[in-house]
Amino acid sequence: QDMLDLDEEEMRLQRLNEVALVPQGAMNSLNPVMKIKNQLLDGLYDHQLRGDDKMSKEDQIQVVEKLLTSMQPRIIVADEPTSALDVVVQRNVMQTLGRLQEGLHASIILIGHDMGLVAQFSDHVGVMYAGRLVEVGPVKTVFKSPKHPYTRLLIKSLPTLSNKKEFIGIPGLPATLLNLPEGCAFCLRIGKETPTKIP
């Protein structure tokens, strides 16, 4: 289903039912002065119990428990679910997402900058720069033979145990998103000669 064809009401109904989001930071996504139970109930009221505010507390608790075990999203969007975590906790989070994916038979869209994590847990990768996809393909193909200079630099930034190297930042400044030029915004950033120097 093409989500871009949905109107605002149809899109609202897709959220939480068919598409679930794991936000980058819970502190920015959950209301710190409101119980999680009530935040979950808000979503449920919006989708299934709209206008039904006469539920007893016991019924509400049962609804939340059922909600936590019965929602079956087909797509889970995980926005940097492991940022600022140590590698052990990162692995636990990704393994949990993997078990969830298998149990629900869902697809996961993993958003992140950690190309090592992408290589370990993804089947396909899409590399974006300035809001545009610059390269898409199976993980093994993209990592073995990256075509776009930004993809090459991202992969090159991965640390290795086999050899020491000096980490060099990407030259230039990020593209201004207000008036993006036609063509490759990244190539304008690094100049015409730089891409040929990247192995």
Residue 198, pLDDT > 60, answer: no
Q: Where are the beta strands (DSSP E) in the chain?
A: 19-22, 75-79, 107-111, 124-129, 132-138
Q: Please, which residues bridge with residue 93 across strands?
A: none
- Residue-wise pLDDT tens digits, 11-51: 888 887 788 777 777 667 778 888 878 887 777 776 665 44
Within 10 A of 139 (CB to CB), how many other CB atoms are there?
Answer: 16
Task: Please answer whether residues 131 and 175 qualify as being in contact, where contact means their C-beta atoms are separated by less than 8 angstroms.
Answer: no
Looking at the chain, the whole-number percentage of residues with pLDDT higher than 90 is: 20
| Better-predicted residue by pLDDT, 14 or 107 | 107
The H or E element that residue 165 is part of is none
Measured on CA atoms in the order 174, 178, 184, 189, is the torsion positive or negative? negative
Question: According to the model, what pLDDT value does residue 194 have?
Answer: 41
Task: Please answer whether residues 161 and 177 qualify as being in contact, where contact means their C-beta atoms are separated by less than 8 angstroms.
Answer: no
Overall pTM > 0.85: no
Q: Where are the beta strands (DSSP E) in 27-79?
A: 75-79
